[in-house]
C-alpha cells in the first residue's frame, strides 16, 4: 500500500513538474544549473534559517528547493537523458544538501540542550548517507537497488514536517520525526542490502560460496 501511494504521489508530482521543466528548457536553463540552484536554496533554508531557529521558514524553503531534484531529472529526460557528469553532479549536490539539513538541525537542537534530538539527527545523517552509498555501490557493481521505503525526497519531507510542527509550537514533533526517520532509514539500508545479496547469489557461479 505504501509503495502504491509513493508511486501515485510521484506520478502526480511529475504532471506538475513537466510543464515547468519544458518552460525552463525553452528558456535555455540546463538541468545542471537547476541542480546547483536547488542545492544553494537548500543551504540558505537550512543554514541561514533552520540553524538559527526559524524552523517553519527554513523547512518550507528546504522542501521547495528539494523538489528541484524531480525538476532537474525531468529536464534531463526531456533533453535526451542525463549525462555522466550530470548524474555525478546531482548525487554530489544531494549529499551536500542533506549534510546541511541534518547538520543545521543537529546544531539548533544542541543550542536547545536536546541531546536526544541531536543523536537522532546524527543517526539520520549517517544512515541517509549509507542509504545512498549502498545503492551507488550496487549499481557500480552492475546490480540494481531501486528499493526502500525512505528515499531522499521522503526523508526530507519527514524532517520538514517535524520542523514545521515544532516551529508552530508542537515541541516534540521534530525529535519524533527524526527518530522515525532514523528507524526507516536503517530499515531501508537493510532492505537494499538484502536486495543486493539476493542478486549477488543469483549471479554467483555454481560451486562458489
Half-sphere exposure of 95 (CA within 13 A, CB side): 13
The reported pLDDT for the residue numbered 2 is: 44
Q: Considering only 21-30, 65-74, 156-165, which range has the smallest mean pLDDT?
A: 65-74
Confidence of residue 1 (pLDDT cuts 50, 70, 90): very low
Q: How many Å apart are CA 112 and CA 96, to the nearest integer?
A: 25
Mean pLDDT of 157-176: 92
The 10 Å Cβ neighbour count of residue 2 is 8
Residue 42 corresponds to which cell in the numbers above?
537548500
| 34 within 8 A of 17, measured Cβ to Cβ | no
Confidence of residue 12 (pLDDT cuts 50, 70, 90): low
Locus of grid cell 525529535: 175
Q: Which residues contact 128 (CB under 8 A, 6 or more apart)?
A: 98, 102, 152, 155, 185
Closest residue by Cα to residue 104 from 156, 68, 38: 156
Q: What is the pLDDT of residues 84-117, one digit of tens each?
A: 899 899 989 999 999 999 999 999 999 999 999 9
Active site residues: 94
Q: Which domains does the chain have, with CATH numbers?
A: 2-202 (1.20.120.1760)
| 145 within 8 A of 196, measured Cβ to Cβ | yes
Q: How many Å apart are CA 195 and CA 181, to the nearest integer?
A: 21
Confidence of residue 79 (pLDDT cuts 50, 70, 90): confident
Helix, strand, or coil here: 50? helix
170 pLDDT exceeds 60? yes
The reported pLDDT for the residue numbered 48 is: 96
Mean pLDDT of 181-200: 94
The reported pLDDT for the residue numbered 118 is: 97
Mean pLDDT of 130-140: 91
Class of residue 74 by CB neighbours under 10 A (exposed 0-12, middle 13-18, buried 19+): buried
Amino acid at each position: 500500500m505504501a509503495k502504491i501511494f509513493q508511486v501515485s504521489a510521484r506520478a502526480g508530482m511529475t504532471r506538475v513538474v513537466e510543464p515547468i521543466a519544458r518552460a525552463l528548457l525553452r528558456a535555455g536553463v540546463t538541468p545542471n544549473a537547476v541542480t546547483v540552484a536547488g542545492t544553494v536554496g537548500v543551504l540558505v533554508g537550512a543554514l541561514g534559517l533552520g540553524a538559527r531557529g526559524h524552523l517553519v521558514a527554513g523547512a518550507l524553503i528546504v522542501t521547495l528547493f528539494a523538489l528541484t531534484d524531480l525538476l532537474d531529472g525531468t529536464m534531463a529526460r526531456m533533453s535526451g537523458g542525463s549525462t555522466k557528469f550530470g548524474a555525478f553532479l546531482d548525487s554530489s549536490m544531494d549529499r551536500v544538501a542533506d549534510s546541511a539539513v541534518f547538520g543545521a538541525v543537529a546544531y539548533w537542537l544542541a543550542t536547545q540542550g536536546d541531546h536526544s534530538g541531536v543523536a537522532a539527527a546524527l543517526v539520520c545523517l549517517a544512515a541517509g548517507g549509507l542509504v545512498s552509498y549502498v545503492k551507488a555501490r550496487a549499481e557500480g557493481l552492475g546490480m540494481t537497488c531501486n528499493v526502500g521505503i525512505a528515499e531522499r525526497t521522503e526523508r526530507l519531507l519527514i524532517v520538514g514536517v517535524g520542523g514545521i510542527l515544532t516551529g508552530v509550537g508542537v515541541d516534540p514533533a521534530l525529535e519524533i520525526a527524526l527518530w522515525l526517520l532514523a528507524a526507516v532509514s536503517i530499515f531501508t539500508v537493510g532492505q537494499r542490502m538484502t536486495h543486493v545479496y539476493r542478486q549477488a547469489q543469483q549471479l554467483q557461479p555454481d560451486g562458489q560460496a
